[in-house]
C-alpha cells in the first residue's frame, strides 16, 4: 500500500547554455545521466533523472540551454525548455555568476508569468577567486526576482547540492510514485548510447562540427549467451567536408570516438559492446523536418 503522505514532483533545471545544468543533474543523481561538454548547447532534448526515496520521488528534467536562438533548430530547443517551465512543480534556475545577463532576464520574464516556485542556483562557485563577492551577488539577484531560495553551488564538486535537494523536497506536493523505485530515467537505452557518442564528438572534434552532428542508433541487438550487445550507429553530418573530419586521417578520429564511446557504453549497460560507427551525409538535416523527427529532435513545423 502506498503511503498517503507520499510526495512527488517534476523539477525543471533551466538556464543559459553552458551554465552547468547537465552537470548538476548528474551530481544530484550521483550518476551520469546527461552528457556534458565545455561547449554551449550540448543538451538538445529533455533528459529525465529520477530520484526515489522511501517517502518521495523527485523527477528532475534537464533541458537545452535557453538562448537567443539564431535558427529554427535552436528555436525549437528553446521552446522545449520554455514549455518545461509551466509543467513543473519547482524550477531550478542555474546561472553562472553574472554571465548571461540578457538571457537570464528573458528567462525571469517567462518565470514571472507563472506561479511555480523558483530556486536560483549560482553555479561554479569553485571558480570564484574572492568569496567576498558572493553575498553582494546573491543580494543583486534577490532584487531581480522573488526566488524561493538562492543557493551558491558547485555542480562539479557537489558543493551545495545537498541543500538543493533539501529545498526541493520541502516544496514537493503530495503525489504518487510515478516510476518504479529502481528507475533512474524513462529514456530508452538507445537514447543514451546515441548521446554518449555525441558527447565524445563534442569533446574530440573541433569548432562547429559537433553542432552539425546527429547520431542515430540503427541496430541494437542483445546476445545474452555472449553477454554482448551489438550496436550500429550512424553519425549524420550536414556536408561532405564534415564527414572527412569526423573520419579523420586514416580513420583515426572515428576510431577514437568509437573507443571512448564504447568504454562508457559498456559501463552504462554492464556488458560487452560491439560498436559499429559509420558517417553519413544528410544534407542540411537541421532544416529538414523529416530528418529532425527521425533523429528525435523537436521541429516547429
Ligand atoms: N568549474 C566548474 N565547472 C563546471 C561546473 N559545473 C559545470 N561545469 C562545466 O561547465 C561546462 C558546461 O557544463 P554542462 O553541464 O554541459 O552545462 P549545461 O548547462 O548542461 O550546457 P547546455 O546543455 O549546453 O545548455 C562543462 O565543461 C562542465 O564541466 C562547476 O560547478 N564548476
Ligand atoms: Mg546540458
CATH of 7-171, one of 2.102.10.10, 2.40.400.10, 3.40.50.300, 3.50.50.60: 3.40.50.300
Residue 39 Cα to ligand 1 midpoint, Å, equals 9
Model confidence at 71, pLDDT cuts 50, 70, 90, reads: confident
Residues contacting 139, CB < 8 A, separation 6+: none
Closest ligand (CA of 123): 1
Q: Residue 163 burial by CB count (10 A; 0-12/13-18/19+): exposed, middle or buried?
A: middle
- β-sheet bridge partners, residue 123: 96
Q: What is the 3 state secondary structure string of 202-249?
A: HHHCCCCHHHHCEEEEEEEEEEHHHCEEEEEEEEEECCHHHHHHHHCH
Residue 64 Cα to ligand 2 midpoint, Å, equals 6
Candidate of 17, 62, 96, 155 to mutate for ligand 1, largest count of ligand atoms within 8 Å of Cβ: 155
Q: What is the pLDDT of residue 98?
A: 63
Q: What is the pLDDT of residue 301?
A: 56
Question: In angstroms, rounded to a whole number, what is the distance separating the alpha carbons of residues 16 and 196?
Answer: 22
CATH number of the structural domain 189-294: 3.30.300.20
Structural domain spans, the chain? 7-171, 189-294
Atom of ligand 1 lying closest to residue 19 CA: 19
Atom of ligand 1 lying closest to residue 159 CA: 31
pLDDT digits (tens, 9 = 90+) for 25-63: 999 999 999 999 999 999 999 999 999 999 999 999 999
Model confidence at 287, pLDDT cuts 50, 70, 90, reads: very high
Atom of ligand 1 lying closest to residue 43 CA: 23
Model confidence at 69, pLDDT cuts 50, 70, 90, reads: confident
Residue 129 Cα to ligand 2 midpoint, Å, equals 25
Model confidence at 112, pLDDT cuts 50, 70, 90, reads: very high
Amino acid at each position: 500500500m502506498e503511503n498517503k503522505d507520499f510526495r512527488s514532483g517534476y523539477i525543471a533545471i533551466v538556464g543559459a547554455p553552458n551554465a552547468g545544468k547537465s552537470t548538476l543533474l548528474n551530481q544530484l543523481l550521483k550518476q551520469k545521466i546527461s552528457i556534458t561538454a565545455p561547449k554551449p548547447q550540448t543538451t538538445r532534448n529533455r533528459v529525465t533523472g529520477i530520484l526515489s526515496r522511501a517517502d518521495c520521488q523527485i523527477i528532475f528534467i534537464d533541458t537545452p540551454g535557453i538562448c537567443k536562438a539564431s535558427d529554427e533548430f535552436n528555436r525549437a530547443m528553446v521552446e522545449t525548455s520554455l514549455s518545461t517551465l509551466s509543467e513543473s512543480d519547482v524550477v531550478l534556475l542555474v546561472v553562472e555568476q553574472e554571465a548571461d545577463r540578457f538571457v537570464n532576464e528573458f528567462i525571469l520574464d517567462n518565470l514571472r508569468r507563472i506561479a511555480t516556485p523558483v530556486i536560483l542556483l549560482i553555479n561554479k562557485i569553485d571558480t570564484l577567486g574572492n568569496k567576498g563577492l558572493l553575498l553582494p551577488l546573491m543580494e543583486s539577484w534577490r532584487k531581480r526576482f522573488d526566488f524561493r531560495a538562492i543557493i551558491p553551488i558547485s555542480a562539479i564538486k557537489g558543493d551545495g547540492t545537498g541543500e538543493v535537494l533539501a529545498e526541493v523536497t520541502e516544496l514537493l506536493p503530495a503525489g504518487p510514485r510515478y516510476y518504479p523505485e529502481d528507475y533512474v530515467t524513462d529514456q530508452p537505452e538507445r537514447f543514451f548510447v546515441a548521446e554518449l557518442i555525441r558527447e565524445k564528438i563534442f569533446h574530440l572534434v573541433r569548432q562547429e562540427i559537433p553542432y552539425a552532428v546527429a547520431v542515430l542508433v540503427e541496430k541494437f541487438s542483445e546476445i545474452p549467451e555472449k553477454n554482448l550487445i551489438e550496436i550500429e550507429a550512424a553519425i549524420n553530418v550536414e556536408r561532405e567536408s564534415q564527414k572527412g573530419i569526423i573520419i579523420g586521417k586514416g580513420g583515426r578520429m572515428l576510431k577514437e570516438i568509437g573507443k571512448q564511446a564504447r568504454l562508457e557504453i559498456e559501463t552504462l549497460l554492464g556488458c560487452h559492446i560491439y560498436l559499429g560507427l559509420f558517417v553519413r551525409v544528410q544534407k542540411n538535416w537541421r532544416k529538414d523536418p523529416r530528418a529532425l523527427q527521425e533523429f528525435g529532435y523537436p521541429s516547429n513545423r
